[in-house]
Chains A and B, each alone.
Chain A
Amino acid sequence: KQEVTQIPAALSVPEGENLVLNCSFTDSAIYNLQWFRQDPGKGLTSLLLIQSSQREQTSGRLNASLDKSSGRSTLYIAASQPGDSATYLCAVRAGGNQFYFGTGTSLTVIP
């Protein structure tokens, strides 16, 4: 069974710093990988979706990479802002209709 791990569980950085969030998965046979943001008490907002054939996706200050063979993805946030404070989750779509989630990284950006 696919297992998804996110390290670190929590991260605190000063405003303006560039940062990297990590996501690893145990089975490289995936359809895609998706990064989400969750604000406290809110639903999940999709940030980036990377297909298994792609190496990276970019949206504004966010860049997500995928190394399927090593079972790893990173979410790079440039020039962090206090508004980036949230929990970030990654999810892997395996065969069929199964998605597997990591437990998330709680990010705090200090003004």
Chain B
Amino acid sequence: SQTIHQWPATLVQPVGSPLSLECTVEGTSNPNLYWYRQAAGRGLQLLFYSVGIGQISSEVPQNLSASRPQDRQFILSSKKLLLSDSGFYLCAWSVQGFYGYTFGSGTRLTVV
């Protein structure tokens, strides 16, 4: 069966520090991968999605970047965190066609 792993679960980072969040999927090949952010009291905002290794689409201009070094690995990064980067980050996967999403358990990021 397919599983998705996301870590760390919580992270407290100072302003200006770098960030690396990792997401991996097991049990499927060539998934579509997504990074979402959920700010407090707000809806889900799509940040990046990827349909294959090295293929990244960005939905909004921001202080973050994403990479997909392997088929089932998706990484969210920042060189210098801002206070506004605080939020709940969710990774998800899907496949082409008439399928839905499966989400990871999320990372709570607090920038102080």
Contact = CB atoms under 8 A, between A and B. Distances in A.
Question: Interface majority SS on A: helix, strand, loop or mixed?
Answer: strand
A89 interface: yes
A102 interface: yes
Given A31-B98, A44-B90, A51-B98, A103 B51 contact: no
A44 B34 CA distance: 13
Interface stretch (B12-20, B60-68, B71-79, B103-111): B103-111
B11 interface: no
B101 A34 contact: yes
B83 interface: no
B35 interface: no
A44 B101 contact: yes
B43 interface: yes
Given A31-B98, A89-B44, A97 B32 contact: yes
Contact of B100 (A41, A49, A104): A49
Interface of B: 6, 32, 34, 42-44, 46, 49, 51, 88, 90, 92, 94, 96-106, 108
Given A32-B98, A46-B103, A102-B43, 4 more contacts: A34-B100, A41-B108, A43-B104, A43-B105
